[in-house]
Amino acid sequence: MSKIRITYILSNINKALAFEWIAQYLDKEKFDLSFILLNPGDSVLERFLTEHKTPFIRISYHGKKDLPGAISQIRQFLKKNQIQIIHCHLFDANIAGLIAARLAGIQKRIFTRHHATFHHQYFPRAVWYDRFINWMASDIIAISENVKQVLIEKEKVDPHKITLIHHGFELEKFRETSEEKITQLKDKYRTIGKYPVIGVISRYFELKGIQYIIPAFKALLDFYPNAHLVLANANGNYKQEIEQLLQTLPSNSYTEIPFEEDLFSLYQIFDIFIHVSITTDIEAFGQTYVEALVAGIPSVFTLSGVAAEFIQDGNNALVVPFKNSDAITAACKKILADPNLQKTLIENGIKSVQERFALKQMISKLESLYLKDF
C-alpha cells in the first residue's frame, strides 16, 4: 500500500510538544506527514520542523481578515500535493482548513476539538461557528469524555462521527531533567531557599480558577511565611483581575512567568501543584493534570475535564470543591504535614497517568483513525 498523505493544519501555535511528538513518531512507513502553520511569524514549532526535516509551509496569518487568503493558499497546497487527509487544530485552522479541504475534494477531514463549554459559557455566538465546523468535518476527535458529551448533548453531533482519543505524552521526559537545569530555574524564578513552592501553570482566564488560588496562598503564608507562588503562562484576558489579587501578597512571595520552554524542569521546582478550574464541564482536557502527576508533584485539583475520568481524592491527588479558597489552603496544609500522603500521591499519580496517557496509545489510535476507509 502506498503511503497516505496527511497534512496537519494549525493556527496560532508557537510551541506544542504534542505536534513535535507526532512529527517524530507517526509511522513513516505508512504516512507522509506535512504541516501548514497559520502564524504571524516564526515559531518554536516551525524551527523544530525545519530541524527534523518535516515538510511544512507557513501562511502569514494575523486574524480573520486573512481568512480568505489562507483558505486559497491551503487549497492550492492540498491540490498540488494530492493530500488525502487533513487534521486541523484550533479555531482558525478548523475554519480555514475544513473549507479549503472541502473545496479541494478531500473526503477525510478531521479536526480535534480542544474546548468544551467555553463558547457556550463565554461566547454564545461562537457556538454557531462550532456547529459549522462540526458539520464540515468528516471526523471529530474528542480529547475527553467531557468534550464528547458536549458535542453530542449540546451540539447534537452524530456520535458515529466522534472518536475519543486522549492526549498522549512522552511521559519519561518529565522525569529526565537534571539538577543543573532545575537549579537554574530556581535561581531564575527566585525560589531558592523558599518552601513550599506552590506551582500553577495556567493562562489567565476566569475559568481556570486562579482567582481562588491567590487568596488560598495568602492564607497559607500565615503558616508558611517563606512560601512562594509561581504562576506560569501568565497571560490572558483575566490578567487585570489577577494582578489586583496579587497586590494583596508580599511582592517577594510570588513570581509570574509569561513563558518557560523547559516545562520538564519547571515542574520540578514545585512542592505542590494546583489546578482548580471552576466547573465540571468548562475544562476540555487539562494537560496539567497529567503533567503534574507524571512529574511526581503532589497536587490539588478540582474535577474538571479529564480529571473526572481518573482522579481519586486521597489516592492520586487531593480533590477540592469548585471556587473554594479555604479548601485549597486546607489541602495544601494536609499535604505538607504528611510525608506518607505525599509519597502515596506521587506513586499513585505516576501509575495512573502511565496507564492512560502514554504517547504510544495516542499515536496508535490516531493511526487507526487515519487508516480507516483506506
* Amino acid at position 366, single letter: L
CA-to-CA distance for 219 and 244, rounded, in angstroms? 17
Can you state the angle between helices 44-51 and 17-25, rounded to 10 degrees? Answer: 20
23 φ, ψ (degrees, to nearest 5): -60, -35
Grid coordinates 494583596 are at which residue? 248
Q: Which three cell numbers stand for residue 1?
A: 500500500
Q: Mean pLDDT over residues 86-105, rounded?
A: 98
Contact assessment for residue 87 and residue 118, using Cβ atoms and an 8 Å cutoff: no
Contacts of 75 (CB under 8 A, 6+ apart): 100, 101, 103, 104
> What is the full DSSP assignment across 137-153?
-SEEEESSHHHHHIIII
Q: What number of residues does the chain have?
A: 374
Phi, psi of 231, rounded to the nearest 5 degrees = -110, 105
Domains and CATH numbers, the chain: 4-168+358-371 (3.40.50.2000), 171-356 (3.40.50.2000)
Q: Which tens digit of pLDDT belongs to each residue from 37-55? A: 999 999 999 999 999 999 9
Q: What pLDDT, in 10s, does the model give residues 172-225? A: 888 889 999 999 999 999 999 999 999 999 999 999 999 999 999 999 999 999
Mean pLDDT within 58-67? 96
> What is the structure's pLDDT at 304?
97
Using the predicted structure, report yes or no on whether residue 1 has a pLDDT greater than 80: no
Using 50, 70 and 90 to split pLDDT, how confident is the model at 369? very high
